[in-house]
Structure 1
């Protein structure tokens, strides 16, 4: 793996895909794919893997190569559909509206490792297999899929890390043609797009329904290329810092392929990768984006949100969900006194200072109906009551 990564590719020279076989024993061998992501993706190379294995088995048994029937559609047809989207004014306007009305999500800068720390990639796995029954129940109640529930959980976690009420973050969509045989067409069909989020859902059911509605709205515009969205937004590389992807490569024959023994090395331009697959949410990022300690903390937040979603379809989705470790720190350590230094002066004086500094910032959210009051509005109401009492 290290040797193949070091060898790299010359983008202007074929091949951009290399395949090697390593015999490990009389009973086991390893197949290695080295490729540029621009020409293939997970679904394609898992499909190719099974086609190669079928050919190998047929040749080994003396039957010759199996018959091949080409799909009715080609990769060129996908390219044509992408070009049609690029020329479509409706698709262009849709994505301009998303980027223009939602702030790009940004990971906390303080979570990065110190500059002097060695550069390395951090990984955290958050299991959800034990919660899957409850999560699928939520998907059924919301009339959607497990993927939409996991995406909703992901967006809830991001929402707890930003003060923005309207933000966007990257979600991977596929642009394969909706035609018989299109699932067998090899190539790069993926497109990462800014997924718009509005905070405010009161229950998990409401949150998942909102996410699913947004997914279906995006579907018609999913082939509009991300580079075109970035150019229209000013060409900034900061448009998307987080990628979410749900993987389900069910075409792999797990009786003969040990998919869990896969080794790999690769990367992309996104700071944090959140991949849902096989009962786990995998978080991966370089430590100059998030260090190991904070990535563990983030993983705990995903687990707490998933637990709450699985426990009660109509549970309150507006709270902040911390890991067990952080809840213990709050309740058992800091609540006992600690060494906190409290600011001097009266509470009312500090509130008045906040009114002067950020009068339009949200000060109060009424749990019963979701009403939001700014510092100025709370101050005006308090002054009216004070005058009445005087």
Structure 2
């Protein structure tokens, strides 16, 4: 079987280093599961998956050690790892899904995409897809589901080939080469971040229940944040009145919350950005997401509306500089590297108000099953995503630092704070 080697992208290189620090964990697993009711052809679904994998080199990639780092190794063809489990008791199905979603990948052996189908009854299946983050981000997962759905529909309607040639799109290994070749052109953007983050605190002193260990682990926990019904609509109203976006409102509220629990007024919060500005990468499956570090100044006890204006201005100023690889920014600032905490930022806000992940299968309904993995990438991650017309939010925390009850208290406090800030944007934070 033919195989081809390519350099890894900067984002992949950083993730591989972090993955080595916590081997055998699920911190970079990207799972999505569905409860499928109605007619479901497992073999047609397998063929649909294989058609999509054949179309995207990223889904046929593993990572091999090379000269002290890694290279991408792309196989010309692979067989999709789809397993069928029969006679699964409905009462145990969710626990089984979560355990399978949390099973670690071997990034050197692969494959880095796997599927499990639980047959609960003749017309009742649970479908779990899990991909490693090295080859797939959130945008890519939506593309994967859309393309698998399309291939499955073509099989169901014609009984023929699931393949759809469609327009040719660049492949991720080519993107990785292109991005590395462009690194020298990003000096201005790296300098922007170095200037923005100059003299910023490199740690956020969240009140921990235990001393920080010498080497941080990925052990974590997840707590739901209670958001009042209508929060998404109210955020949009507050944003519209101040020439901002709902995401900016959430960022400002999260910054206010962090300032309250930490006592710090100068904060740096990590934010994922899609990295899809170039039209050629809109339909690419791979790891294109980048991390930016956004600073918030809450000195002087500003009103929430003023903080929102500051956040809006800073996020807009950062917009032309999203492509600067986070690792290049870290190197430019050269903060002291320690295994006990991440450099520059230890908290993240991930906000996704796009349409929900979906499988569109003829003759069946597919309802998404919520899977919350416990592995932590940050000391504290606020994950917010759209569910229908509402928002769902969770706090993912490092179990080495925080008790679950502490984070439950924070989750309730944040929900209350956000509700109050939306009701009175003119109140001090």
Q: TM-score, normalised by structure 2?
A: 0.65
Matched, 1:227 2:335: no
Q: What do you get for the CA RMSD once the two structures are aligned?
A: 2.9
| Alignment correspondent of 1:326 | none
C-alpha distance after superposition, 1:205-262 (max 9, x if no partner): 2222211211112222222222233333233443221111012341644783312x13
The verdict on how the C-alpha distance between 1:122 and 1:308 changes in structure 2, with shifts beyond 3 A counting, is same
The verdict on how the C-alpha distance between 1:263 and 1:167 changes in structure 2, with shifts beyond 3 A counting, is closer
Is the CA contact 1:85–1:223 (under 8 Å) kept in the aligned structure 2? no
Whole-angstrom CA distance in 2 between matches of 1:273 and 1:26: 40
Is the CA contact 1:193–1:226 (under 8 Å) kept in the aligned structure 2? yes
The verdict on how the C-alpha distance between 1:214 and 1:103 changes in structure 2, with shifts beyond 3 A counting, is same
Matched, 1:241 2:343: no
C-alpha distance after superposition, 1:62-84 (max 9, x if no partner): 25336332355543347624652
| Alignment correspondent of 2:86 | none
Give the C-alpha shift of residue 139 in structure 1.
0.7
Is the CA contact 2:115–2:128 (under 8 Å) kept in the aligned structure 1? yes
Is the CA contact 1:113–1:289 (under 8 Å) kept in the aligned structure 2? yes
- The one of 70, 92, 103 aligned to 2:201: 103
Return 5+ residue gaps in structure 1 as ranges. Answer: 319-390
- The one of 303, 310, 322 aligned to 2:422: 310
The verdict on how the C-alpha distance between 1:5 and 1:306 changes in structure 2, with shifts beyond 3 A counting, is closer
- The one of 362, 367, 377 aligned to 1:258: 367
The verdict on how the C-alpha distance between 1:86 and 1:280 changes in structure 2, with shifts beyond 3 A counting, is farther
- The one of 153, 161, 182 aligned to 1:57: 153
Is the CA contact 1:113–1:290 (under 8 Å) kept in the aligned structure 2? no
**Partner SS, residue 182 of structure 2:** helix
| Alignment correspondent of 1:374 | none
The verdict on how the C-alpha distance between 1:31 and 1:15 changes in structure 2, with shifts beyond 3 A counting, is same
Alignment coverage as a number of residue pairs: 312
Matched, 1:272 2:367: no
Is the CA contact 2:112–2:135 (under 8 Å) kept in the aligned structure 1? yes
Is the CA contact 1:71–1:184 (under 8 Å) kept in the aligned structure 2? no
Is the CA contact 2:274–2:288 (under 8 Å) kept in the aligned structure 1? yes
In the TM superposition, what are the counterparts of 1:21-60 in structure 2 within 5 Å? 21-60=117-156
Whole-angstrom CA distance in 1 between matches of 2:184 and 2:137: 21
- The one of 303, 311, 330 aligned to 1:211: 311
Give the C-alpha shift of residue 163 in structure 1.
3.6
Whole-angstrom CA distance in 2 between matches of 1:120 and 1:90: 37
Runs of 4+ in 1 over 6 A off after TM superposition: none
Whole-angstrom CA distance in 1 between matches of 2:190 and 2:109: 33
The verdict on how the C-alpha distance between 1:25 and 1:49 changes in structure 2, with shifts beyond 3 A counting, is farther
The verdict on how the C-alpha distance between 1:113 and 1:272 changes in structure 2, with shifts beyond 3 A counting, is same
| Alignment correspondent of 1:382 | none
C-alpha distance after superposition, 1:351-377 (max 9, x if no partner): xxxxxxxxxxxxxxxxxxxxxxxxxxx
- The one of 186, 199, 205 aligned to 1:88: 186
Is the CA contact 1:104–1:167 (under 8 Å) kept in the aligned structure 2? no
Whole-angstrom CA distance in 2 between matches of 1:26 and 1:213: 55
The verdict on how the C-alpha distance between 1:7 and 1:98 changes in structure 2, with shifts beyond 3 A counting, is same
In the TM superposition, what are the counterparts of 1:351-362 in structure 2 within 5 Å? none
Give the C-alpha shift of residue 283 in structure 1.
0.6
**Radius of gyration: which is bigger?**
1
Range with bigger deviation, 224-233 or 3-12: 3-12
Whole-angstrom CA distance in 2 between matches of 1:6 and 1:299: 24
Give the C-alpha shift of residue 125 in structure 1.
2.3
| Alignment correspondent of 2:250 | 150
